[in-house]
A and B are shown apart, each in its own frame.
Chain A
Amino acid sequence: MTGDAIWYEAAQVVGITNALNVAADGLGALGPVDEPGAPAETRALFAEIRAFYGGSADVPQGFRFIAHDPAYAAEVWAAARHAYADNRLTRRFKEALAFAVSVTTRSASGAAFHLAEMRRLGVGQPGVMEIAGVTQMFSSYTKMADTLQLEPDMGSIAPVDPTPAPGGPAQ
């Protein structure tokens, strides 16, 4: 897991997962968009989201809340679709990251959604428990480290990536 590119991908997954969980868990007061009565662009957006998630009947709730502004929802979806798609990191692993983020941030809806996606993408119960275990154990290590105010001492393990930003000139 070397090179900075995969870490940028992981950061995108972390960020957009949290953003979608915030919407799903916190924007319920807005109420979901009424799909049959929604504009064509909203219905097309929901169809695209369903297709991405394997034809599931359920559009993630967060999108139903933010689709009151269809143009905004479309941009959020474009970012999410890019973040979760296969790239250097697989979609299967990205769902595991999203599950870990959701569990760590106590988003029950996000944890349930990404658990279902992990399973749909082929992760078995042992694999789910691996991610659950890592998430739980490092939720312990981090709080112990914070309690004792430990200072980072393992930063030198990872090599520095000398490559430029995508499309940029080599230094």
Chain B
Amino acid sequence: MNHQEQQRGATERRGRTLRGVVFVIALLAFGALHISAAEPARAFLEEHCFDCHDAETKKGGLDLTTLKFDLAEPATFAAWAKVHELIASGEMPPKKKPRPEPAAKEEILASLAASLDGAVDARRKVDGRTVLRRLNRAEYQNTLRNLLGIEVDVKESLPEDSSASGFDNVGAALQLSPVLMERYLEAADTALDAAIVTGPRPETRRKRYPFIDSVPKYYRNAVLFDEEKQAAVWFRSDYSPTILSQFKAPVPGRYRFRISAFGVQTGGQPMTLSVEAGFFGAGLGGGISRIAGFHEVPVDEPQVIEIVERLDARGDTIRLKPVGTTHVGVWADKVKNYKGPGLGVQWVEVEGPLVESWPPEGHRRLLGDVDVSRGTFADAEKILRRFVPLALRRPMDDAGLQPYLALVRAELDQGRPFEQALRAGLKAALCAPQFLYLKESPGRLDDFAVASRLSYFLWSSMPDEELFDLARQGKLRQPAALRAQVERMLKDPRAAAFTENFVGQWLSLRLLTFTSPDMQLYPEFDEFLQWSMLRETHLFFEELLRNDLSALNFVDSDFTMLNGRLAAHYGIDGVQGVEFRKVSLKPEQQRGGVLTHASVLKVTANGTASSPVLRGVWVLDHILGKPANPPPPNVPAVEPDIRGATTIREQLAKHRQVEGCASCHRKIDPPGFALENYDPIGGWRGHYRVLGAKEPLTKVVFGKRVTYGEGPAVDASNTLPDGRAFTTLRDFKQLLLEDEDQLARALARKLVTYATGHGLEYRDRTAVELIVVKCREQQYGLRSLIHAVVQSELFLNK
């Protein structure tokens, strides 16, 4: 879909909007009128359903003749909700059976809907829609950091959270266990250790290290020494023990690194290098490190790169590696005569730990001018009076504060030193349920609950002073204030957490590193490419968000965000360098929309081969919003065969001959096959790659020689269950775009789930429909969609 097509006639849009509104109003009216509706018309069920769904046949395990109409019982409710859904969608009665009269169908749907909604409303009056929600570990860590002004890493010490409805901030899935409680006690200690400093200001040092001194002895014959530039020069990019071993962080903290580096024999091109930070074991592969960034330096002219990086542990340092150079060892005599590209590094200068003020900002904010070596109860009271309400995210009267004060007093009375006694009070606040859970009361949320919903939605952290201020004034829930706050919050750097956590889960990007491709079949894959994949999708999302571009761009767009590495991967000319930029796409480049992002194509691939089944299931759930049923038990999975003997199409065709499989695979396989022209690392393919071919093909991708055999040709054509056929992904995307509302609806549902920490239920369809209508009025703009979600009754009610 390109943008011109999106700009359809205003008249048509008005018509559609009107239809939508009428539909919504009709739904709302039914809900209001039929609160105590009776059992659905038995006549309809007898005529259209009992044939298959009686005690005898019990098709699909459903016997409607005995299914009670007790909607307070969750399982029964779910069964009737499913009945409504299947009749409404026209899936039931099945195509082969006689069609019900439209009027009769309308009638049973309306009466069923009214009863179902009535039952839900009754329950929600008491419980609200959402379930009490614990902070997940990312939120917990961000909250501690913002609350105390510290940079601790406690996330890894907490057990991984489970998720529900696709997100790990959904209350129903966030359990609490004794182990977690123990870890909270420990994490509170860690956080307070970081927040309350007692020692002298750590000394900031600056030192320049000639890089050649850091090259280990055993690797010296793979490294040239450039006398003129006094620089170490090396060529190999995958294995590279080029750690700045002369430097080890004396304490955790932020350090400034200045690296003087240049490219060698690059044919005039700049050289890319990677900087990793962390702890490196001796030699290959060991340690715990992360990529701190990729940078470019010009050929032959040393240039200084400056970065500031937090090192989490004592002993941490950095490693430098050339990117996109040879993977073959260049040793001894070969080094001198080697003509390929390499990296030269003169020196690295380290300054740190960088201490902005002492005691640090967090310490002063927490303690004011109280000296912890000789505080009094009155000092503790002053500290807790400010801290506890902030931690619990609500104003608090004296009675509310009392338990914390009593605890500190009891500790002091027992002769504990002031700091210990104060810490007991602070620790209690950090382990209190009001801190660990988001407290919301049934009905319309109060201002403070809205402040927390907003901040955990857009920042994955606690509200800031401005949100609290508005809440205290009782102004936050006004539509204009909400709007202004969302605008402000999205511009704040903390909003990076929204991209990372929402997109990371919506598009499964968190799984990007879960599999690594077959290095024989896909030798062009490297860390830089993987890093770039993630950036493309994050930046694409942020581009739509910033400029309120249509959410339909997720399905098809005439631009994407690229750097040189990714452009080379996609076969798009004219883009160089590490930096990302917006690039216009031509149809023949076969890109546009997240379905063509290498990140998405990689996470939907099955380990080392791509699987139309996995991809199909993924598209149905994440993009189309019509998730497939899970596979029935005892069905063997389709085993990929990379020897090239049979194609996945042949295997799946066999699978679909089985009647039990066909009903779901008719829906699953087509969107999967539509992506078949993209390999497991997101490259375009006309033929499958195979190993062991007699006449392998060779090409060079981003400096790397890639050799593989050409297998059978790819066939991406298929037919949707409703009979619409397509031959390529481009056609398939156009078919998806025929139902723009459904695409917006699918995304709106994901956003509401994430924003409210609760999956969507049947009852929520009207509220979602209102969001879709509002979003459509703004040409499906992504930022408008966020606003519509925040202003919706789903967001503003428990």
Is chain B found bound to chain A in the same assembly? no
Q: Which residues of B contact A (CB under 8 A)?
A: none
Q: Which residues of A contact B (CB under 8 A)?
A: none
